[in-house]
Amino acid sequence: MRFSIYRYNPETDAEPRMQRFELESVSRGMMLLDALLRFKEQDESLVFRHACGEGHCGADGVNVNGVNVLACTTRLSILREPVQVTPLPGLPVIRDLVVDMEAFFSQYRAVRPYLIADDPEPEVERRQSPEQRAGLDGSFECILCACCTTQCPSWQNNPERYLGPAALLQAWRFLNDSRDTATEERLNDLAGPYALFRCRTVMNCVNVCPKDLNPTEAIGRIRRLMLKSSL
Partner 1 sequence: MMGSGITPWLLQRLSSVYLGLYGSCIAICWMGRPAPDHAAWTAWVGQPWVSLGMGLFVLALLLHLWVGLRSLLMDWVTRTAVRAALNGLLLIGLTGVGLWALRTLWRAGL
Partner 2 sequence: MVAVRGHGKVYNGPCSEYQNLFMGRYTSVMPARERNKAHLLIGHRPPRPWLSAASLLSSTQRWAGLFLALSTPYFLYSFDLSLRSEAGFTQVLQWVQSLWGRLWTLACVWAFAAHLAAGLRLLLGDLGLGLDREMARRSAWAANLFPWFVVLALLIGWR
CA atoms of 160 and 44, how far apart (whole Å): 35
15, 121, 131, 137: which one contacts partner 2 (CB under 8 A)?
Answer: 15
| Rg for the chain, CA atoms, rounded | 20
From residue 18, alpha-carbon distances to 38, 56, 89, 178 in Å are 17, 29, 15, 49
Site for partner 2 in 141-180 (CB under 8 A): 150-151, 153, 156-159
* Cβ contact 167:111 at 8 Å: yes
Own/partner pairs, 174-177, CB within 8 angstroms, 24+ separation:
174/111, 174/112, 174/113, 174/114, 174/115, 174/116, 175/222, 175/225, 176/135, 176/136, 176/139, 176/221, 177/115, 177/135, 177/136
7, 49, 179, 198: which one contacts partner 1 (CB under 8 A)?
Answer: 198
Site for ligand SF4 in 72-131 (CB under 6 A): none
Stretch that binds partner 2, among 89-97, 123-131, 140-148, 176-184 (CB under 8 A): 89-97
Site for partner 1 in 124-163 (CB under 8 A): 154, 157-158
CA atoms of 194 and 175, how far apart (whole Å): 19
Stretch that binds partner 1, among 52-60, 84-92, 173-181, 195-203 (CB under 8 A): 195-203
Site for ligand SF4 in 39-68 (CB under 6 A): 58
Q: Which residues bind partner 2 (CB under 8 A)?
A: 4, 6, 8, 10, 15-18, 63, 65-67, 84, 86-93, 99, 150-151, 153, 156-159, 200-204, 206-207, 212, 214, 216-217, 220-221, 223-224
Q: Which residues bind partner 1 (CB under 8 A)?
A: 154, 157-158, 187-188, 190-198, 200, 223, 226-227, 230
